[in-house]
């Protein structure tokens, strides 16, 4: 689970479970730590009729594409301008997963599931620290550009 600034808010190592079984639990855990969390975008793998219903009760905006053939009502919902706009931003989550892999999570040096969970948590922490560094670097660049223009 990632916020609009690129910080990873929630992660989970899944064992013998599917995406659609953890959707509500992920949202609840994220809302517990981030009470203002009120919108979320998911992949098709997270879709179920029950998830769609429960998430609508918890969040102001839910982008949860349906698997398979769409009914008329689903087409109206999924082709809505706002739904499409938010869905396009969802690729940032895939980018975060790739960044974790590129920065060390592609091969776990620890052994066992506990070691892997620890390794994944440290990768998320390092990614968030890297994100902070990127924000600070960008601010410093903008400040230097303003100083050059003023001189």
Question: Does residue 104 or residue 100 have the better pLDDT?
Answer: 100
Cα–Cα distance measured from residue 22 to residue 60, given in angstroms and rounded to the nearest whole number: 19
**Is the pTM above the cut of 0.95?**
no
Looking up tokens 């793998």, which residue turns up? 45
> Binning pLDDT at 50, 70 and 90, where does residue 82 land?
confident
Lowest pLDDT segment from 32-36, 109-113, 138-142: 109-113
Q: What is the pLDDT of residue 139?
A: 95
Listed in sequence order, the DSSP H helices in 1-151 are 19-33, 49-58, 72-78, 81-89, 91-100, 112-150
| pLDDT exceeds cutoff 70 at 33 | yes
| pLDDT exceeds cutoff 70 at 85 | yes
On average, the pLDDT of the chain sits at 84
Domains of the chain, by residue range, sit at 19-150
SS3 state at 36: coil
For the stretch 43-77, pLDDT in tens is: 888 888 888 889 888 888 888 888 888 888 888 88
Give the number of other Cβ atoms within 10 Å of residue 105's Cβ: 19
> Binning pLDDT at 50, 70 and 90, where does residue 93 land?
low
Q: What is the pLDDT of residue 134?
A: 92
Q: What is the pLDDT of residue 133?
A: 95
Tokens of 33: 């730590």
């Amino acid at each position: 689970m990632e916020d609009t600034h690129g910080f990873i808010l929630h992660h989970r190592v899944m064992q013998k479970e599917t995406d659609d079984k953890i959707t509500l639990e992920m949202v609840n855990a994220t809302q517990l730590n981030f009470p203002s969390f009120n919108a979320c975008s998911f992949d098709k793998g997270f879709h179920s009729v029950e998830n769609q219903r429960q998430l609508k009760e918890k969040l102001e905006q839910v982008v949860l594409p349906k698997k398979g053939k769409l009914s008329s009502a689903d087409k109206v919902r999924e082709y809505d301008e706002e739904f499409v706009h938010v869905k396009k931003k969802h690729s940032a989550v895939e980018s975060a997963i790739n960044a974790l892999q590129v920065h060390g999570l592609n091969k776990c040096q620890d052994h066992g599931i506990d070691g892997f969970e620890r390794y994944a948590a440290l990768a998320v922490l390092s990614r968030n620290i890297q994100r902070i560094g990127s924000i600070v670097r960008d601010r410093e660049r903008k400040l230097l550009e303003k100083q050059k223009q003023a001189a």
